[in-house]
Structure 1
Amino acid sequence: MSKVRIYTLAKDLGLENAKLLEILDGLGVAYKSVSSTIEEDTVVLIKEILAEEGAAEAQAPAATPETQPTAAAEKDTAEKATGQTNTAQQDRAEAKTEQTSEPASTSEAPAAATPAAAPAQDIPHRAPVVTIMGHVDHGKTSLLDYIRKTKVAAKEAGGITQHVGAFEAQTSKGKIVFIDTPGHEAFTTIRARGANVADIAIIVIAADDSLMPQTREAIAHAQAAKVPMLVAINKVDLPQADPERVKTDLTQLNLVPEEYGGDVIVVPVSARTGEGVEDLLEYISLTAELEDLRADPKGEFAGVVIEGKVDRQAGVLATVMVQEGTLHVGDFLVVGESYGKIKAMTDSNGGRIKDAGPSTPVQVLGFSEVPSSGEKVQAAKNEHAAREIIAARAQDRRDAENARTQRRLTLEEMMGPLGTVRTVNLILRADTQGSVEAIQGILARKESDDVKINVMLAGIGAPTEGDVLLASTAEATILCFSVTASGGVKKIADTKGVDIKSFRIIYELIDEVDRLLKGNLEPVFEEQYLGRAEVRMVIHHPKSGNIAGSYVTDGSLKRNAKAKVTRGKEVVYEGTIVGLKRFKDDVREVQTGYECGINVDWDGVKEGDIIEASEMVEVEQA
């Protein structure tokens, strides 16, 4: 019995993929994605359901002139919700026309906008943003070049004008934006700063080479970013190509291709001949459709820096991906603790533009300093507003630096609420492949029903900056066996709060894993007494409120410790010691026999009060 792919059937029936999936769910038909196949008898059943729905609509009583507006409004709402009617199809065609026009057109409101429609339906779809990653020499750049040459509409006689760090490809399904800075490290640098730029990741694997170290790293980075992932098996035109070997090797990473019963879309392509490229673009569009990517061109502007550089003639240039709202020449932009006014914008074809809507990459001239990749961009109404935003950010940074302690989050805090199955993320580096496999085998036996171990990346050699970025993004610990991190990598790890643990004895590494697993279980705490102080003077401070000038009579007092203020036999306040001073200096702890200033963030403190400090300490469990 013949089979048909879901997205092909949806196209033949004139349905949205989401509507067809809804019907399949109602029938109880199992599928992995829109590229999954269904049996012919299921197709017949779907057509019968659609025919019955059409007959029911035809038998519905015609609306009278008095009720016609209400009926029309209801029909319009239903069409927008289901996407089944010709009107909805026409709307999608109009949306595609808008996508192929100048970026400035994205700022214009749709002509057929209905004020009464639901807010979610008012927000138009946006083009997907795609990044391509993989091992060196597997054809990432070649694939991008092929797509660029065949899908970008050249605006000049000389062909494609290079370029702004990203480009827009026009396909039969609409616009697709490619970030053409391939490489998982650049991708993860952006992610590590909290910015989500790419909607879809394409992992390129050479058909004659299969999985390589950078391939595994790229997959780990894409999984940490939690973006949909497609696999493009490149170089299938070579005589020695073996796509089936690649598919089999993918299963070792728990990435099971659809034809093997899994949910990973794998597309054979050739960047040299163009074979399979159209199929890849089709799958990108299908994936984007299921993700239901939307952005409001009239909303508040938000964007992300893809890359920045200094041009000898133009000055500072920054490539910005517009995510929400519309960017205009003359707008003031704030990045980090600096700002700039847009003097000019260039699109991905090298043409000057005046405004750009969502999912549009633009090169901006107007920054005084080179912004870093991944920094978020915010718009300001004017220069005064931009300066206010910068001043507030600078103050927040100083406050954070003053309040910063060496305390690190417990694994329980990082992994979420207790009572659920939690995961310890690890990155493993060792001196030999044999050591890597042996350690992975031991780790697999350490898992329990409550705690799972996720080895995100395992490789040979010292940890790299990319490992640190991945660990920072995924909140993972890096374990090293018989290898050590370089000074530069350690410095970056310290800056990002990433733990790198190095071991020479295998049992010590396993003991560390046990400690991590134990730390991921529910801890038991008890309150432990620290010390007490007598308030001898109350100092009125204009910013900090009342500060208790005190003398420590027993033990010690620590900043951020719990505080209990007693007056006679009555407890009058319970809270936290938010500040400690010795003369004019902020200190972390004050011992017995010393005077200090105590700020408990409470203005009711009086002379003679007793401040008792305590802290919560984890109890060692057997």
Structure 2
Amino acid sequence: MTIQSVVGDGDAAERMRSLASVRRAREREKEKRKGGSTDAPNRPREVVIPDIITVQELSNRMAVRGVDIIKFLMKQGLMMKINDVIDSDTAELVAEEFGMAVKRVSESDIEFGFLGDADDAEAADVRAPVVAIMGHVDHGKTSLLDALRTTDVAGGEAGGITQHIGAYQVRLDDGQKVTFLDTPGHAAFSAMRARGANVTDIVVLVVAADDGVMPQTIEAIQHAKAAGAPLIVAVNKMDKPGATSQKVVNELLQHEVIAENLGGETQIIEVSAKERMNLDGLLEAILVQAEVMDLRANADRSAEGVVIEAKLDKGRGPVGTVLVKRGTLKRGDIVVAGGSWGKVRALLNERNEQLTEAGPSVPVEILGLDEAPSPGDVFAVVESEARARELTEYRQRVKREKAQVSGGSVSLVDMMSRLQSKKVSELPVVIKADVQGSAEAIVSSLDKMSTDEVRARTVYSGAGGITESDVNLAKSAGAPILGFNVRASKQARDLAEREGVEIRYYSIIYDLLDDIKGVLSGMLAPLQRETFLGNAAVLQVFDISKIGKIAGCRVSEGVVRKGARVRIIRDDVVVLELGVLNTLKRFKDEVNEVTAGQECGMQFQGFQDIKEGDYIECFTVEEIKRTLD
């Protein structure tokens, strides 16, 4: 007899209620007293399932024992442990099996709402056109822009070439404004030109009348077509004697750029930046094209735009040059640009004037970011610092995971076998540039120099001055530091001298690429060119004490020469490759060479296995230095 049978209803077979059952009954009683519904357990529990989840976490969210989930997975043919990871589809199948309501979420959902919806056309106002100036090296792009801005930027450029994107806004006499993006023309800056075309409304293609269409001119045309931007051709240097635009018009026809007077849609404007000729005509063509395009943007909203350029300034910290596409960027706004964020401390225009706000189509420098963003990143204003941190942490994590995946796609065994088979010689380098775009262009150009035998490996590249950490990194990697328009701090210079790290400064990208090309060419193994001298047959072998075996030979063809390379062939099999003819005698006299038809004695350096009937080929080997194309 048990106590339950004495105090209970007499049913001894009834099992004692579990402690969990008692707790659930008490919870229901509390809910009833609070006015809650006791039917809540009958409604399916909602389970939030991310992209990947462990069995343990799914068990906790479903309030189901982990062992029950594992049993179900085993029935489905999946052998799982409590800490194993399952995908969202499997997790959803498990949750539905246990009668749960599933809500699928993805980690990338955090990006939703970062960029706003498209503006209503009626609410948008007319904005200034964004014009990219493109063309070949030394065709006068920056000089033309200087003439429009009545300033002299080209004079301050190293070597007379533009090496990063400049963004300027020109204010006309009638109050209208035009935003210009000056893009580099050198081949190394292809990615920067593409970026310029992708953020612009109109492309002005500058072609020198005396030079015509050149490789970067063709590339600019392709970028403009890919971006879907209309093209206006400015034929520059028309002040030169005998200059005519007809040559340029004819050459452009080969690339499907047809002038208006030939029935096409492309405006051809003849200008001279040096003589300030017909600049009004160029501006008028730009404004007419902009009016046809009806460019509009809503200024009464949070700002969104694109990072044009970024750099690390020693006094001001990370500085980003951005182009506002829509909305108004104000001082104090919290901005997210790629993997960086910050509160805007200052807005500066191209004249270094402080602004309180920047509207659509206005290029400005912003201060206050935690790190320099990557050129081409989209930026937008967010509502709070918490939201900004959430976004940047997610993006940085995704970037790290991608780097790990790309870096770990090849096993160490594969990598070693590939290196041994190809015998790739590497030149490690550390690159520091004034802006991110220049560093990107240098890295891209060095990658293009790589061959199956030699390559330049970029250990690190970034914007800003050369610091002590850069020197330490270069020392550990055995790499020189290439400074492009930057200088090393005094502490970094002293450390580099102590550690023996070479720092090279450059201001023109041609010089940097030529130097690295020369180093890589020196790392190439020289070509071995054989020059045939003559053949000889071994008639008899003499074994002389203290000297070794001497081959008595007759020269059958050409000439044999002392010190030349020899190849000994026996029964059509090479028994000695690249041997050296150490001693050559004619009777008792040592001679330098023996001609065809004469007999002689030969001794070979380090080789005694000579036999009658052997055939000797005599030749010289010439080493030819190789260079990269």
Query: TM-score per shorter chain, which class?
Result: 0.3 to 0.5
Structure showing greater radius of gyration is: 2
Q: TM-score, normalised by structure 2?
A: 0.43
RCO higher in structure (CA 8 A, sep ≥6): 1
